[in-house]
Copies of this chain bind each other. A is one copy, B any other.
Amino acid sequence: MKPSPAHSCKNCGKAYDTIFSKVAAPEFNLLSESKLIRHYNNREIVFNEGGKAQGIFCIREGKVKIYKNGIDGIEHITRIAMQGELMGIKAILSGHPYSVSAATIEDTTICFIPKNIFFQLTFRSPQFNQAIILFLSNLLENAETRMLSLAHKHVKQRLAEALIFLVQNFNPATYPNSKLYLNITRHDLANLIGTSSETVIRFLGEMKDDGIIAVKGRKIFILDHSGLSKISAFPH
């Protein structure tokens, strides 16, 4: 992780749109000038479960997995955070240590907003508060949908769901022949849907046989989007 030169929040497309666009000028400038930009390589830790929060993080570019570690060392990914999303809000608000860990899953640029600046914004800007409320309620909506899947869907359905989510949200890399692909380990995929990597591999194999995806090493090519939708909706 290394600091980068300053940069206005106005040029940070997605985060600006979702969180900061309605914040009035004085508060916006405070934010823009106080934030610290940091660059992380793939697989770097941003913060750790149990650590003390000093501020909040806002992703400028890249992806971060947010996860919890179970007793037996099994990791569960509660969320994959992307451009324009905030991380570490709960810990700041509650004053408790982080309840989750965060690690990059690709090269990522993150802005850090120190605690005192964050609280100045919440005191002074109702618009900022309302944006935070909306952001949290979206996270909650997603969490509830995923609870339902974990509770009542089969692994293959959850896998199809996860692939759809990933391909829609990941601006995935494109291959020379302009085919979309995902670059994610079977292990991370397993921890996202609550299963073992062997089981992920087996179902990816089935989908490959059915012509829905193609696999080349770690890369997963999505060939038939509507085939994935069918799997995610119906049993088996």
Contacts and interface: CB of A to CB of B under 8 A. Distances in A.
Contacts of A90: 137, 140-141
Interface string A61-105: 000000010111010101000000000011001100001100000
A114 interface: no
23 contacts: A68-B144, A68-B148, A70-B148, A70-B152, A71-B233, A72-B235, A76-B152, A78-B147, A89-B137, A93-B134, A93-B137, A94-B134, A122-B126, A122-B129, A126-B126, A126-B129, A129-B129, A143-B144, A146-B147, A147-B147, A150-B150, A150-B151, A152-B194
> Which one of A122, A137, A233 has the greatest number of beta carbons of chain B within 10 Å?
A137
Contacts of A126: 122-123, 126, 129
**A interface: dominant SS:** helix
A130 interface: yes
A166 interface: no
A133 interface: yes
Interface in A132-158: 132-134, 136-141, 143-144, 146-148, 150-152
A85 to B, nearest CB: 13
Counted per complex, copies of this chain come to: 2
Interface residues of A, number: 39
Given A147-B147, A150-B150, A151-B150, A141 B194 contact: no
A99 B144 contact: yes
B137 A147 contact: no
A76 B150 CA distance: 10
B150 A147 contact: yes
Contacts of A150: 147, 150-151, 194
A68 B144 CA distance: 9
Given A70-B148, A122-B126, A133-B136, 12 more contacts: A74-B152, A76-B148, A78-B144, A89-B137, A93-B137, A99-B141, A122-B130, A126-B126, A129-B129, A133-B133, A146-B147, A151-B193
> Which one of A72, A78, A93, A133 has the greatest number of beta carbons of chain B within 10 Å?
A133
Contact of A137 (B71, B123, B136): B136
